[in-house]
Amino acid sequence: MASLILEATRFVADYQSLQDYPIPSAHSLPTRWTPPTTGVYKANVDGAVFRDQSTTSVGVLLRDDKGQVVGALSQQIYAPLGPLEAEAKAMEAAVIFARDIGIQDVIFEGDSLQVCNAMNGNSLALPAIANVLEGIFLHLQSFRSFLFSHVKRDGNKPAHLLAQHVKFVHDVEAWVEDTTRFLEPVVASDVVVCIGLLLLWFVPDDYY
């Protein structure tokens, strides 16, 4: 009976994570990636499930306020997790990775509303991820400031690519103050878009 209840709980969590309901959040951002404020770093995270291989993957990309990459991570988890559990493990990996690099002020951004809202205290964590989120809160004691932010999937492409890159990684692959070639176009695109938005913001209306 206990195993049946656990399986049912996981099924409900997986279903809700796939629906991506717009749970209200005070820190929901636009589709496009936006840079953090000066002196703050942003960690974009994503989790993926490969059911045919019974594995889970996480991708993490750390950038500074200029959009420059300071760290990237592709990690494989040898466990058949559900989509929501994968997103929670991705967030956990991002927190640990940022801590190990020595970052003190960071925004953790992902495309799972359930995880972001639970971390911000806007909703209760589902049983399937409650233990993972409790562990994340313990790791957060190492930071000076932190925030959890939601972004739509289109604004989370580099982290998604890193999660998919795990297909070519045996266990874990990390880059510090560097990036891998397959990420360069999408990261450069984010920077160009941000610069364009800043120019539009500061150009006076009468300029045109």
pLDDT for 93-138, tens place per residue?
999 999 999 999 999 999 999 999 999 999 998 999 999 999 999 9
Q: What are phi and psi of 141, to 5 degrees?
A: -65, -15
Please give the helix or strand (H or E) that residue 129 lies within, else none. helix 127-139
Cα separations in angstroms, 190 against 65, 82, 122, 135, 167: 12, 29, 29, 31, 24
For residue 158 the two structure tokens come to: 């580099």
Q: What is the mean pLDDT of residues 141-153?
A: 95
Cα separations in angstroms, 12 against 6, 17, 75, 77, 83: 10, 9, 26, 22, 11
Superfamily of domain 2-207: Ribonuclease H-like superfamily/Ribonuclease H (3.30.420.10)
The predicted model scores a pTM of 0.77
With both helix axes pointing from N to C terminus, report the angle between 127-139 and 83-101 in degrees, rounded to the nearest 10. Answer: 0
pLDDT for 18-56, tens place per residue?
444 344 444 554 578 899 999 999 999 999 999 888 889
Q: List Cβ neighbours of 112 (8 Å cut-off, separation of 6 or more).
A: 17, 47, 84, 87, 88, 91, 150
